[in-house]
A and B are shown apart, each in its own frame.
Chain A
Amino acid sequence: MQKRVLYRHTLPLRIMHWVNAVCLLILLGSGLQIFNAHSALYWGQGSDFHHPWLILGATSDGDGSLRGVTMVGPYRFNTTGWLGVSEMDGAPTERGFPNWATIPGPQWLALGRAWHFFFAWIFAINGVCFVAYALWTRHLIRDLVPTRKDWRGIGRSIVDHALLRHPCGEAAARYNVLQRVAYLVVIFGLGGGIVLMGLAMSPRMDSVLGWLVDLVGGRQSARSIHFLLAMGFVAFFLIHMFEVVITGLGNNLRSIITGRYAIEVETHHETDH
């Protein structure tokens, strides 16, 4: 076996990847800060305060101690310490998401919004740059859109991923079909969707995006979908980290920092006939 080092990620892609990573972290933290200002979600145009589908709330026990209660549809969970009620300066405090997960840490809606909208612009501009670059360099068509052959092998790829059997050798030189589908869904589904749902929450934008707001069922639906798409990003991040680790942390990290990615290839010995 020999190692072949290939140049996998170009400099613009590496820069855009890391800009995106920082944006997502800050958008998530400041987004949870904004969520905490009213820690309930609804479907529809207005808020039906009696029927949220998600609440991160608190109840007071008989002895006066606070208990965090998370309600998802008809289900109730005790989430004290994590959701609804969490430690703040050493005391249990009513708070949707805990301090360590929000930007800024304490309840501070005005500044949470400032962080969120500043980085939303960078996120959106970075996203537009990525799509333009990926079209221009054919990165999108060549590396991300699955080929017909990819689609035929999707069943096998799902089984392989489930068994943690990852492509190696020359097969690892290109993205496999599940990677391609995952990246496309994240970029256009989650990325595009979350920006649109963000815009749909803006009262001023609704003067021209009323059709979009109606299409998803109303402004509160847009807020719910915005939140769910953010949770989609969190889920993607966790799977992404898991795959990065089990397919070779060092090699993967190097490739997204320096661009260079090593694959193992069979050495071919010339044989006499």
Chain B
Amino acid sequence: MKPITNRRRFLLDSLALTGTVMLGGCDGISRTEWAPKVLNSATALSRAAQRALTGDAMVEEFSEADISPWFRPNGSTDPASVAYRALAANGFRDYRLEVGGLVTHPLSLSLDQLRLLPNRTQITRHDCVEGWSVIGKWTGVQLSRVLQLAQPNAAARYVVFHCYDDGYYESLGLDSACHPQTLLAWELNDKPVPIANGAPLRLRVPRQLGYKMAKYLRRIDLVASFKDTGGGNGGYWEDQGYQWYAGI
């Protein structure tokens, strides 16, 4: 029995050693300049494959019975900026959404003006990058309707969202921005969006993960490139290394 035991011991030890070296190696590789770039190159493949396979297909919409009892907020839940506090103190009556950048008609829209546009209500699932999901009922206006009013010019390729929680921003390509389920929403579960969930107006992009859905919208800019915005990666979390394409 001895040789077997020794052999088994040896195998287990070598396995443990190989594992440690490999995992340790992965850590070393993770910290290099090139590794994240190489690893993230697969995201381009995922995006191309998902676009080819899904096109403009709509995500599933659910029934009232499926709505989660609590729409878990994440990230900032109570912006501290003076401008935001002032708006909130007045029930967002003075709120204006600015739309600008590469557009023919820059806009400045109040919540009442937004409500006059054709509304859409959808019960969709919200998937957080952390792994959890919640289902909520959102009412708002399709972003495509607002963009139609602003008339992006030919050079515009991305839509950048600036927020009242300082430093947060996000961006979408025009294809995602114009998807019928991409909303600027002011109601969650038939009530004004609570502050924790992004009052008074937040983005809904149910075909992507939660961090794309900017809360506390302040300004929307159409741009040719987002290289000069924030850290240049297209969003707050993207600047921390998260993938710009969050459909996966």
Q: Which positions in A face B, CB cutoff 8 Å?
A: 25-26, 29, 34-35, 37-38, 40, 42, 45-49, 100-105, 108-111, 113-115, 117-118, 120-121, 201-208, 210, 213-214, 218-220, 223, 241, 245-246, 249
| A-B contact list, 13 entries, CB within 8 Å | A49-B132, A104-B30, A105-B23, A109-B242, A110-B242, A114-B243, A118-B40, A118-B41, A203-B125, A204-B50, A204-B208, A206-B60, A241-B11
Interface stretch, picked from B66-74, B89-97, B104-112, B159-167, is B66-74
Indicate whether B220 reaches chain A with its CB closer than 8 angstroms. Answer: no
A42: chain B residues at CB < 8 Å are 132
**Alpha-carbon separation in the docked complex, A46 to B19 (Å):** 35
Contact check: which of A37, A45, A49, A245 meets B131 at CB < 8 Å?
Answer: A37
Distance in angstroms from B106 CB to nearest chain A CB is: 31
A220: chain B residues at CB < 8 Å are 132-133
Q: Which positions in B face A, CB cutoff 8 Å?
A: 4, 7-8, 11, 15, 19-20, 22-24, 26-27, 30-31, 36, 38-43, 45-46, 50, 53-54, 57-60, 62, 66, 68, 70, 72, 125, 127-135, 206-209, 237, 240-243, 247-248
B20 x A204 contact (CB < 8 A)? no
Contact check: which of A40, A45, A118, A208 meets B57 at CB < 8 Å?
Answer: A208
**Alpha-carbon separation in the docked complex, A241 to B209 (Å):** 38
Contacts A114-B43, A115-B30 given; 18 further ones with Cβ under 8 A? Answer: A45-B66, A45-B125, A46-B125, A49-B70, A100-B23, A103-B26, A114-B40, A118-B41, A201-B127, A203-B248, A205-B53, A205-B54, A207-B54, A207-B59, A208-B54, A213-B60, A219-B127, A220-B133
Q: Name the CB-closest residue of B to A198.
A: B248
A113 x B60 contact (CB < 8 A)? no
Taking A117-B42, A205-B50 as contacts, is the C-beta distance between A223 and B248 under 8 angstroms? no
Distance in angstroms from B61 CB to nearest chain A CB is: 10
**Alpha-carbon separation in the docked complex, A66 to B38 (Å):** 38
**Alpha-carbon separation in the docked complex, A219 to B127 (Å):** 9
**Alpha-carbon separation in the docked complex, A202 to B18 (Å):** 32
Contact check: which of B45, B129, B133 meets A37 at CB < 8 Å?
Answer: B129
**Alpha-carbon separation in the docked complex, A213 to B125 (Å):** 12
A37 x B130 contact (CB < 8 A)? yes
Q: Name the 8 nearest CB pairs between A and B, nearest first.
A: A204-B247, A207-B57, A114-B39, A110-B241, A47-B132, A38-B130, A37-B130, A38-B131
**Alpha-carbon separation in the docked complex, A103 to B243 (Å):** 17
A26 x B247 contact (CB < 8 A)? no
B209 x A203 contact (CB < 8 A)? yes
Distance in angstroms from B2 CB to nearest chain A CB is: 15
Taking A38-B130, A46-B134 as contacts, is the C-beta distance between A25 and B19 under 8 angstroms? yes
